[in-house]
Amino acid sequence: MDRFQLYIDGQFRDGAATFQSLDPATGTPWAEMPEAREAEVNAAVTAAHRAFRSGPWPKLTATARGKLLMKLADLVQAAAPRLAALETRDTGKIIRETSAQIAYVADYFRYYAGLADKIEGAHLPIDKPDMEVWTRREPVGVVAAIVPWNSQLFLSAVKIGPALAAGCTVVLKASEDGPAPMLEFARLVHEAGFPAGVFNVITGFGPTCGAVLTRHPLVDHIAFTGGPETARAVVRGSAENLASTSLELGGKSPFIVFDDADLDSAANAQVSGIFAATGQSCVAGSRLLVQSSVKDAFLAKLKAKAEAIRIAAPDEMTTEVGPLCTLRQRDRIERLVAESLTAGARLVTGGQTPEGAGFYYPPTILDCSSVPDAASVTQELFGPVLSVVAFETEDEALEIANATQYGLASGVFTASLTRAHRMIRGLRAGVVWVNTYRAVSPIAPFGGSGLSGHGREGGLAAALDYTTVKTVWLRTSDAPIPDPFVMR
């Protein structure tokens, strides 16, 4: 089996133990992964703290940091085929998606390379005549970046890029499910020439690795992507060190189709929005809200497209849907789909687990119009399951769309510009896509509210999350400061 190592303080090293990683396409072990426990976590955080406080990193200009990030971007682009193959092998994400996504990840590092020397303070027009006052944006310190297994190189880039651009140091915890691409990514950081300790990669299990990291007294900021339950544990851990947090926690995103929409275009976007990445996406358009007058026609289009999807091995370029990452994930989806059907949902297509090896589950559509509170409608399944709810009016669509504790993404399909603007204003979501879906860019901030978390990734907003504001007061008068206890 392949064997991987941790990356701590500029060196590759073994963990306290090892664990096996399963190939989701076969369900069999393919690699040995290093397990970090308290000693390894402490070594990584201590190295990051030392690198932040002393040595070459804090002496580098912002422009020099940008040049290192630019070199890293070039190395990521060159290594994209290798990284894509590893992510596909270790997580089951299909190769056509990992190849395209990792190639684009390089652009995120380029964006933050260019932004590094543009993170600015401000001069304040203070109300005192003998004072000059300005603010400085300074790096917050040691960042604990915690990423899940899905789209992990992308989800890491939106943390690593702005954190390093701002001058922070990073300890990245890769998920114990599918950590191979992040452990390999460390080699690129090493090759790029970042000083020892500036970037570290560990992996391990929640209680013995993640919890130790989030409560570590030398951690200053925690950037987490994952589920709400784990996020609550992260926030509880941060009470120990009072680290600031940015949380991206997924969602139950509404995909709203009005009767004046281009139904063919909307159907293609919906298929991409829920079945791409086998539905394992934080922005998956898993709640289809469709106007009643076009519901049957739209569902017929979706059913035909879903049943034509090619389910096969993830390393084949013609595969359109691969396996889920873990068996426990499939077991949970099966349970929630069964609960929804028992509650009265109608199975439009899918829903039957295929026989054979691997953690496969077919594209599934449930018509939940008669049971809008079914489990598949209210809970994030993180798989290729679409729940459909019909609506009559624009106000009803908004009411249904906002009837969730999540607030990450949303989609609106309509030919009416005025309606689009009303929906944009009314939707409680951090991202609104109109007549498109799943579009991303390093230039655009991304994030949500409620159970979808807080903070933003992407754009200047993300870089500012990794800074703290220092206010400077400079007295310009040469006259002595008067004695405060002498009455005048």
Q: Assess contact for 243 and 222: CB atoms under 8 A.
A: yes
For the cut 80, the answer to whether the pLDDT of residue 488 exceeds it is no
For the cut 90, the answer to whether the pLDDT of residue 219 exceeds it is yes
Q: What is the pLDDT of residue 329?
A: 95
Whole-angstrom Cα distance, residue 277 to residue 451?
22
Nearest alpha carbon to residue 432 among 416, 415, 418, 446: 446
pLDDT digits 0-9 by tens, 384-440:
999 999 999 999 999 999 999 999 999 999 999 999 999 999 999 999 999 999 999
pTM: 0.96
Query: Which residues are 254's β-sheet partners?
Result: 287
For the cut 80, the answer to whether the pLDDT of residue 70 exceeds it is yes
Structure tokens at 80: 């994209």
Collapsing DSSP states into helix, strand and coil, what is residue 23? strand
Residues with Cβ within 8 Å of residue 338, at least 6 apart in sequence: none
Mean pLDDT within 364-378: 97
pLDDT digits 0-9 by tens, 265-294:
999 999 999 999 999 999 999 999 999 999
Q: What is the pLDDT of residue 294?
A: 98
Considering the candidates 176, 184, 248, 380, report the single residue annotated as catalytic. 248
Domains of the chain: 2-248+458-473 (3.40.605.10), 254-434 (3.40.309.10)
Question: Between 488 and 79, whose confidence is greater?
Answer: 79
Mean pLDDT within 82-97: 97
* Known catalytic membership, residue 248: yes
For the cut 90, the answer to whether the pLDDT of residue 203 exceeds it is yes
Q: What is the pLDDT of residue 59?
A: 98
Nearest alpha carbon to residue 367 among 381, 349, 394: 349
Mean pLDDT within 171-200: 98
Q: What is the pLDDT of residue 171?
A: 98
Q: What is the pLDDT of residue 1?
A: 85
Whole-angstrom Cα distance, residue 87 to residue 31?
12
For the cut 90, the answer to whether the pLDDT of residue 487 exceeds it is no
Q: What is the pLDDT of residue 254?
A: 98
